[in-house]
Chains A and B, each alone.
Chain A
């Protein structure tokens, strides 16, 4: 009996061991030998790629109180497709679709009939962007050969608002929608979605990939983009820029409003712009962003930078004087003041206040070619690193040559070409105690994991001493208080620093037009602790010569708007009542 029991126990043990060995063998083949095949099979079975609906993260404006407002988001609705093989009456189907979905983006009547005639095909999309209600109403009609399918698409609630900066999404070289311009392109890695996360099988993940279920690498990468653009300020800037462009029939106009201490761009625009939600017939050239891609000769707004460089280098002081002769000859080229008039012996501040080219040239000569090149290369020699694609390089070729005329003309903003974003960054150094900051549009990423990741834009580049910057600021404040609009622009309780610029346009043959100009305007306030710096320009305005005529009202309108909107406290206590 005992021997029989032992035999049975050993038999059972043997069977168990054999079974275990077989299972081990099977596991070896499943996991090691054919592991990859099974993994792929499991993926196909349990974690297939969803329904193919478009998915993408949002881009937000940020109101002054911190409220995010969508700049780019997703809209969902339906698309309509036809099956020509089962479509009975194309005319009736077209009428039914167009009447049921009046707001849809639909192909023309002729194109619809041509599509319906393609009897060899079974699926042709004929209408997009149907609202939820329209789509369901059309589906309820159950028209033979007409399919109503879910669809999602990129939607820009602001339409034209900051269009060039927000950017566009379209099919590029691949077969997937991706960001092509603006922030859509710069942050494509954050905004794009792999598409299978939504429909993934929880249990399949639990058994096959528990690590991803708990800590997903995508959740640490994918998210929404939060910009520093304030929608109301952006709206105001766009309105003002469009008005200037229309008033003077300019070729183009643009503007940037930035916090000079942080580099956060609060608004930026160029005109003409385009409607992000309707890009069918727009000029492709409009899709780019001239504020970062194009270079311009800005004219006299360069003078404060020349002045600050010389003050910083110690070759002049605000009290230094020079003899202004009205015109000078340098390397056989004639350089004159805007009104061709001589001023005699005058101090440095008059160069800024009266915008004297001869004075700026004199300062450049005092600074010397090497120092001048050093300062300008520091300011404009590198890209700003702004988070927009295709940033352009400044053209500083004249500063590599020995002819003094190149430095003299550069001192008042001719002969060197700069991008607007480089220019506002450099001018921001005067406003920010001599330190250049990194201009940027995005300050945070809201990750899908729920974490908000702040971006680091704290890198600064010292250019001038704080004292040199303050001395130039004094000159720019004096310009606003005494010269701009003959002193009427002065705000008694707010110090505002500004400088106008008028540059002749190049004629494409190595010379300049005598009657075509590029106007620019830069200013910041409160002048000694600035919250905002504003750069404006208008290219080739008609029937007007000076920037003080075209852009001063726009600049002052923006200054007053920003003071009111942000309740900027007064920084000086002068007389309190002025005529309107």
Chain B
């Protein structure tokens, strides 16, 4: 039977130190990513809210314009009422009652 021996090029201490270093860098990187993510989330959210506010302003203008048109007194604005109304009859005789 052959003798078996393990020969590592680095000592265990060096390996552990390296692993700790990698983990520390990863941890710091993770924190940076998390903070950036949170900042972007807040920024995007605020951007959406600002857009919603702008849309609400436009909707308010639309509804106000609609109310203004509805309240317009056409007689006071100089328009005369029609002298006759013409109604379009139903095409189908089955609609007759």
Interface residue ranges, A against B (CB under 8 Å): 1-2, 5, 69-70, 73-77, 132, 150, 152, 155, 157-159, 161, 198-199, 201-204, 231-232, 235-236, 239, 491-495, 528, 569-574, 576-580
Contact = CB atoms under 8 A, between A and B. Distances in A.
B45 A572 contact: no
A70 B56 contact: yes
Contact of A155 (B56, B85, B90, B93): B56
B87 A570 contact: yes
A161 B70 CA distance: 13
B52 A76 contact: yes
Nearest to B42: A199
| Main secondary structure on B side of the interface with A | helix
Nearest to A477: B97
Chain B interface size, as a band, is 35 or more
A198 B42 CA distance: 7
Nearest to A61: B63
Interface string B46-79: 1001101101110110111011001100000000
Contact of A578 (B52, B81, B84, B88): B84
Contacts of A202: 34, 37
B14 to A, nearest CB: 18
A31 B9 CA distance: 39
A352 to B, nearest CB: 17
B42 A570 contact: no
B38 interface: yes
Contact of A572 (B50, B66, B83, B96): B96
B49 A569 contact: no
Instruction: Kindly list the 8 A-B residue pairs having the minimum CB-CB distance in the complex, ordered from nearest.
Output: A573-B89, A157-B60, A493-B87, A157-B59, A570-B90, A76-B49, A573-B90, A158-B63
B70 A235 contact: yes
Nearest to B69: A235
A262 to B, nearest CB: 22
Interface of A is mostly: mixed
B5 interface: yes
12 contacts: A75-B52, A75-B53, A76-B53, A152-B49, A492-B87, A492-B89, A569-B90, A573-B89, A577-B84, A578-B87, A579-B84, A580-B82
Contacts of A155: 53, 56
Contacts of B64: 159
A308 B30 CA distance: 75
Given A69-B59, A577-B86, 4 more contacts: A75-B53, A76-B49, A155-B56, A578-B85
Nearest to B61: A157
B11 interface: no
B34 A577 contact: no
Interface of B: 3-5, 30, 33-34, 37-38, 41-42, 45-46, 49-50, 52-53, 55-57, 59-60, 62-64, 66-67, 70-71, 81-91, 93, 95-97
A158 B4 CA distance: 86
Contacts of B93: 573
Given A76-B53, A201-B34, A580-B82, A232 B66 contact: yes
A188 to B, nearest CB: 20
Contacts of A158: 60, 63
Contacts of B90: 493, 569-573
Contacts of B53: 74-77, 132, 155
A199 B38 contact: yes
A153 to B, nearest CB: 10
Contact of B96 (A76, A161, A494, A573): A573
A239 B67 contact: yes
B56 to A, nearest CB: 5
A571 B88 CA distance: 10
Nearest to A131: B53
Contact of B95 (A70, A157, A571): A571
Contact of B89 (A232, A493, A578, A579): A493
B3 A1 contact: yes
Nearest to A68: B59
Nearest to B80: A580
Nearest to A560: B85
Contact of A576 (B50, B88, B95): B88
A5 B4 contact: yes
Given A70-B59, A203-B30, A571 B85 contact: no
Nearest to A492: B87
A533 B50 CA distance: 40
Contacts of B82: 580
